[in-house]
Amino acid sequence: MKRFVRKKTVKVALLIIAFLATSLGSAFAATNLEPVNAFFNHGISFVLNGDRWQPKNETGEPLKPIHYNGNNYLPVRAIAEALKIPIDYDGDTDTIYIGGIPGKKTPIFAMPLEIDNIYVTRSKDPEETLIKEKQFQEAFKIDQYGDIYFTLDRKYKRLVLDAAVVSPGEHDVVFSLYNAGGAAGNISETVLEKHTISPKDGVRQMVFNVEGLEKIKLHVQSPELNPYIYARIVDTSFFDNGETSAKDSSK
């Protein structure tokens, strides 16, 4: 009998918790949401840049615009993704950011990335991350040549890359940016932007424009195709949404 009462008590407690959660949620919604009389408009079709376009939700299901007060409405995410504009939502402040979050910086080692672990390796060895007499926590080692792929999902405008040529490197090193997105096609073989650093430089800061790109490839190699370059990319590098017109600088 006691066991039955205990289970019943638990069920009642769960119901009370569920009721309170529902009540609080309803109270929150009441202060922020206003009910309207609207309709799904099944007669609307879309043309995007000359081609038929069907807006879809996050699970791939077709979306129909909502018709209200003479206007048709679609979720902002569907429009932003169609126009290849980054979009983010901050649940703490209930803010939707269209075009990226201002001031947000994402370190390169916090990004989704791919390397081959042969020609490009990540190192936290203090001896290998002591670069130009400054100690870093982590670095990419590229002693011959190599490629690094970053997945951006169109969330950033700039790649701010800090790199150097270390001893015994004797040759200039070129950092070339490519579009590695799935829809790039033949364009993926075209260099979008490149910067060069030399052994006499300190840690050089290079700014690449990555606006609108889903995935990029960073190719690192000497212009003379010399097999030994001893390049390092350090952990102060980051992606952000700042101005892309910034010039290179040497630290």
- CATH code of 141's domain: 2.60.120
Kindly state whether residues 223 and 129 are assigned to the same domain.
Answer: yes
pLDDT grade, residue 250 (50/70/90)?
low
pLDDT exceeds cutoff 80 at 103: no
Kindly state whether residues 219 and 111 are assigned to the same domain.
Answer: yes
pLDDT grade, residue 99 (50/70/90)?
confident
Residue 212 or 27, more confident: 212
Q: For 131-171, what is each residue's pLDDT tens digit?
A: 999 999 999 999 999 999 999 988 899 999 999 999 999 99
Kindly state whether residues 144 and 76 are assigned to the same domain.
Answer: no
Secondary structure letter of residue 56 according to DSSP? B
Kindly state whether residues 238 and 126 are assigned to the same domain.
Answer: yes
Kindly state whether residues 74 and 182 are assigned to the same domain.
Answer: no
Kindly state whether residues 79 and 178 are assigned to the same domain.
Answer: no
Instruction: Match 């205990």 to its residue by tokens.
Output: 6
Q: For 204-239, what is each residue's pLDDT tens digit?
A: 999 999 998 999 999 999 988 778 999 999 999 999
Side-chain-side CA neighbours of 214 within 13 Å: the count stands at 10
User: 81 φ, ψ to 5°?
Assistant: -70, -35
In a domain, 91, yes or no: no
* C-alpha span between 144 and 118 (Å, rounded): 10
Report H helices in the chain.
2-32, 76-82
| Mean pLDDT over each residue of the chain, to the nearest integer | 84
Q: For 162-196, what is each residue's pLDDT tens digit?
A: 999 999 999 999 999 999 988 777 777 899 999 99
Q: What's at 121, amino acid-wise?
A: T
pTM of the model: 0.70
- Look up the domain containing 62 and give its range: 39-83
What residues have CB less than 8 Å from 195, skipping those under 6 apart? 161, 174, 175, 204, 206, 208, 248
